[in-house]
């Protein structure tokens, strides 16, 4: 998809005429920008909204700059936009430091690996550096604060009938939408994705008034069903071949599919029947798991979140240990980014030179002594706390930077304690972006490297903090896989990896006698790895063969007051692994 930067002049030409005499330098425009992508214009106006290009009261843009092409699919882009919505809020808007141009820059950096022209991003600071700009600062801020109370800044949301502002997505869950299909090929493709779950086809037509009354209900059902099924809409007045194939002569007509086979068919505009039939279909495709009847308060917690290591060390001391390498401009850039984000919040911190810093990290592996590499990886860890930063890293080609770090650490015969610890914490922080978990579990090289890092770190008998961090990383991986089991489409972590991780975790549990924090982390991680698993699968057989229940319950001797031992041992591994 082509990515364009739409550039507007909020001054209507006055900046070019009067800036030299007022500010002491020539200013071509008071820039307002947005990103045009996939026939929509994405803009920050107190919230991240999408509008029909050029439909706001700002009219046509002054300039449309082609920034490049992105190969990222729209669902991935929407996930990233969801993460930006947490940062680009009406409260966070700042005319000088956190505005529409910063949003455009962040989105362009994610899509293309480079931002928008510097003269646009730097314009507010140039104005502030002038005597007139400093004099006008209080009055302008007062005007902006007054507009914030109305929920917007430029009034774009109100002026554009086609605007849309999605709510922030929950962690790792992208809201499903109705798929509008126009031909048999596209329909079969979507039905294929639901071959292990369920699908609904809603046949409608342009002249069907009763159909339109069901559209809101159908949209709501799509959101409720989420990844557990696919809801499709077909307009037979346009998709004649689809209507003919399924012998549809009246609308609305509904056809449901269960695990690839047609399950039901009915006609009529009854919203209750539609809702009831779809809900029944989902229940048939996703019957309750036996684990749901067990007493597992920890694992059934719907608000469980990944472990993220957010603590920022004293950066001057960290960079001092790095030596002359700290003078690299990309290092200074990320230092400024981390400090601003930590002291003033994400809204005040624009992304640094990501390409320069990732290149620096990879080069450091070759140049820096092993005992100093922890400083570079810790800096990377701090950057990954921000979802914009981790979102960029998630789409790096071949994950070359993160993979280089993991393979370097895994390849060391004797890995220094500090290096292994920050490598584990850095990998946990990949989960700040909703984009990374699928990459971790779906990209073989990355998943293999992370699995190896966890397994070998459990063997560190001398440092409980390493075992705690390894358990935290396994928890993040297991939690995400468990959510996919719950919400669909099912396991995304390969069963072979699940078996390897479960075996190494059980071994680590059997050896843990000193750290309650490490044991609790291991039990939580193992719990989510096992929760809702297929009871007739290889992992279940392994756990029974290894006598996982007794291994966990044996920890009562050293940790008699840890309730999680009984929850995981007696309930999950005892009752939960019994064949029905």
Alpha-carbon span 336 to 351, nearest angstrom: 10
Alpha-carbon span 146 to 138, nearest angstrom: 12
- Long-range contacts (CB closer than 8 Å, 24 or more residues apart) made by 190-195: 190/230, 190/232, 191/230, 191/232, 191/257, 191/260, 193/230, 194/229, 194/230, 194/257, 194/260, 195/259, 195/260
**DSSP bridge partners of 4:** 36, 66
For 201-247, what is the HEC assignment?
A: EEEECCCCHHHHHHHHHHHHHHHHHHHHCEEEEEECCCCHHHHHHCC
Is 100 part of the annotated catalytic residue set?
Answer: yes
- The CA-atom distances, in angstroms, between 488 and each of 63, 178, 423, 482 are 44, 16, 30, 10
> DSSP state, 546?
T
> Which residue out of 98, 100, 208, 428 is catalytically annotated?
100
Q: Cis (ω within 30 of 0) for the bond into 252?
A: yes
Alpha-carbon span 494 to 447, nearest angstrom: 9
Q: What is the SS3 assignment for 41?
A: strand
Is 119 part of the annotated catalytic residue set?
Answer: no
Give, to the nearest 10 degrees, the angle between helix 209-225 and helix 271-285.
30
Beta carbons of 205 and 235 less than 8 angstroms apart? yes
Q: Which of 274, 309, 301 has its CA nearest to residue 380?
A: 309
The CA dihedral of 110, 116, 118, 120, to the nearest 10 degrees, is: -130
> DSSP state, 324?
G
> DSSP state, 489?
S
- The CA-atom distances, in angstroms, between 251 and each of 182, 205, 272, 275, 278 are 16, 7, 17, 17, 18
Tell the burial category of 535 from Cβ atoms under 10 Å away from its Cβ (0-12, 13-18, 19+).
middle
Alpha-carbon span 471 to 276, nearest angstrom: 42
Task: Determine the longest span between alpha carbons in the chain, in angstroms.
Answer: 84
With b for 16 or more beta-carbon neighbours within 10 A and e for fewer, the 117-144 pattern comes to beebbebbeebeebeebeeeeeeeeeee
- Going by their DSSP bridges, the two strands 2-9 and 261-267 should be labelled as unpaired
CA 549 to chain centre: 35
Helices (H) and strands (E) in the chain, counts: 26, 10
> Which residue out of 4, 32, 98, 172 is catalytically annotated?
32
With b for 16 or more beta-carbon neighbours within 10 A and e for fewer, the 1-27 pattern comes to eebbbbbbbebeeebeeebeebbeeeb
Tell the burial category of 275 from Cβ atoms under 10 Å away from its Cβ (0-12, 13-18, 19+).
middle
> DSSP state, 556?
G
Active site residues: 32, 100
């Amino acid at each position: 998809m082509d990515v364009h930067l739409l550039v507007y002049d909020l001054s209507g030409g006055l900046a070019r005429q009067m800036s030299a005499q007022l500010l002491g330098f020539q200013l071509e425009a008071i820039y307002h920008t947005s990103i045009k992508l996939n026939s929509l214009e994405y803009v920050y106006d107190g919230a991240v909204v999408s509008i029909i290009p050029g439909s706001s009261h700002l009219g046509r843009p002054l300039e449309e700059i082609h920034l490049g092409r992105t190969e990222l699919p729209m669902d991935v882009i929407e996930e990233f936009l969801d993460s930006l919505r947490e940062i680009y809020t009406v409260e966070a808007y700042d005319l000088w430091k956190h505005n529409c141009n910063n949003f455009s820059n962040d989105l362009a950096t994610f899509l293309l690996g480079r931002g928008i022209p510097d003269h646009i991003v730097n314009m507010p600071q140039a104005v502030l550096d002038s005597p007139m700009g400093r004099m006008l600062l209080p009055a302008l801020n007062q005007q902006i604060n007054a507009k914030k109370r109305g929920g917007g800044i430029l009034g774009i949301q109100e002026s554009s009938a086609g605007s849309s502002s999605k709510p922030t997505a929950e962690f790792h869950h992208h809201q499903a939408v109705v798929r509008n299909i126009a031909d048999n090929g596209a329909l079969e493709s979507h039905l294929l994705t639901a071959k292990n779950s369920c699908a609904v086809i809603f046949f409608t037509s342009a002249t069907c008034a009763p159909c339109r009354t069901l559209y809101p209900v159908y949209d709501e059902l799509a959101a409720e069903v989420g990844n557990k099924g696919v809801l499709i809409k077909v307009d037979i007045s346009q998709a004649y071949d689809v209507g003919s194939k399924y012998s549809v002569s009246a609308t609305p007509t509904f056809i449901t599919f269960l695990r690839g086979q047609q399950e039901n068919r009915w006609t009529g505009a009854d919203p209750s029947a539609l809702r009831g039939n779809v809900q029944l279909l989902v229940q048939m495709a996703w019957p309750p798991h036996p684990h749901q009847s067990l007493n597992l308060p920890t694992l059934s917690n719907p608000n469980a979140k990944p472990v993220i290591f957010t603590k920022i060390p004293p950066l001057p001391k960290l960079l001092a240990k790095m030596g002359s390498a700290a003078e690299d401009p990309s290092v200074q850039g990320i230092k400024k980014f981390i400090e601003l984000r930590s002291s003033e919040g994400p809204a005040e911190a624009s992304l640094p030179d990501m390409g320069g810093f990732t290149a620096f990290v990879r080069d450091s592996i070759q140049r820096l002594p092993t005992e100093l590499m922890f400083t570079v990886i810790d800096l990377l860890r701090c950057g990954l706390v921000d979802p914009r930063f981790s979102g960029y890293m998630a789409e790096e080609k071949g994950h070359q930077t993160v993979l280089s770090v993991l393979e370097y650490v895994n390849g060391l015969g004797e890995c220094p304690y500090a290096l292994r610890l920050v490598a584990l914490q850095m990998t946990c922080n990949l989960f700040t972006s909703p984009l990374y978990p699928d990459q971790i579990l779906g990209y073989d090289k990355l998943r293999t490297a992370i699995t190896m890092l966890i397994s070998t770190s459990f063997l560190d008998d001398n440092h409980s903090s390493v075992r705690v961090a390894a358990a935290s990383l396994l928890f993040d991986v297991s939690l995400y896989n468990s959510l996919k089991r719950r919400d669909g489409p099912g396991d995304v972590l390969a069963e072979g990896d699940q078996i390897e991780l479960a075996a190494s975790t059980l071994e680590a549990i059997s050896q843990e006698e000193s750290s309650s924090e490490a044991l609790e982390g291991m039990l939580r991680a193992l719990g989510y790895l096992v929760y809702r698993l297929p009871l007739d699968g290889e992992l279940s057989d392994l756990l029974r063969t290894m006598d996982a229940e007794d291994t966990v319950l044996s920890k009562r001797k050293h940790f008699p007051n840890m309730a999680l031992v009984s929850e995981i041992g007696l309930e999950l591994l005892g009752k939960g692994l019994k064949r029905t």
